[in-house]
Amino acid sequence: DINKEIGYPRGEAYAQRGLAAVANAIGDPRRALDILKQAEALSRQTADARLGAHIQLVRGVSLHRLGRLMEAEAALKEALAVFRQADALGDLSTTYSELSLVQSEMGNCRDAYGSQAQYKLISDRLLNNQLDQRFATLKVEFDTAAKEQENTLLIRENEANEKALTQARRVRQLQAVAIALTVVLAALLATLAIHQRRTTLRMRKLALTDELTGVPNRRDVLNRLEELLAREGE
């Protein structure tokens, strides 16, 4: 509710001004003037000069529709004074456009041309401002999109780097496991070779010595004898 948003009686005055504008739009300027009387009474209870200017603008339009051109011109000029001070380009554009029509119908072509020139000048400023705002908005949107894309690429790059680091860690872990297995296998083979060597020596000793006394047996003696005979034969 507008009254709750900006306070009574100011909100009620804005609402009445809006109703008057609607009455003008549907071709009932007399009704608009009656409504504006209530809006003006309420606006006197506030310190909102721009509200009063808006009421005068709508009043000027109503008087124009009724053919009361001098009163319409006076009301529009009163509104212009406030809008100029506030540099309200949209309101100035609307007021100058209406004023140029009133002055033209009054036969005051010079003033009508001047008002139309002001309307054109302010409309161009308004358009340029809108273009600047649109450009600024597009720039912000572009910068935001570019930043988001950059962040997305950085996230993907970080994810790729993390995957690469994870794979590298896994490779190092596998290499460490392979080295450990190799060392264990080598140790097992060495142990097995030593055990085999000892077993071979033990078996040889058992084959060439007497098990009870430990002295060389007949086989060992014969082997040594064959070696001696072979040396003598040389």
Please state, in angstroms and as integers, the Cα–Cα distance from residue 144 to each residue in 151, 153, 155, 177, following that order: 10, 14, 16, 49
Sequence-distant (≥ 6) Cβ neighbours of residue 86 within 8 angstroms:
49, 50, 53
Q: What are phi and psi of 152, to 5 degrees?
A: -65, -45
pLDDT of residue 43: 84
Kindly report the pTM of this predicted structure.
0.59
pLDDT of residue 233: 64
**Residues 61-118 pLDDT 10s:** 999 999 999 999 999 999 999 999 998 999 999 999 999 999 999 999 999 999 999 9
pLDDT band at 7 (very low <50, low <70, confident <90, very high): low
| Distance of alpha carbon 129 from alpha carbon 89, whole angstroms | 10
pLDDT band at 222 (very low <50, low <70, confident <90, very high): confident
Can you give the length of the chain in residues? 234
| Distance of alpha carbon 21 from alpha carbon 120, whole angstroms | 23
pLDDT of residue 1: 44
Least confident segment among 119-128, 186-195, 198-207? 198-207
pLDDT of residue 9: 72
SS3 48: coil
**Residues 36-64 pLDDT 10s:** 998 888 888 877 889 999 999 999 999 99
Check if the beta carbon of residue 30 is closer than 8 Å to that of residue 21.
no
Share of the chain above pLDDT 90, in %: 46
SS3 216: strand
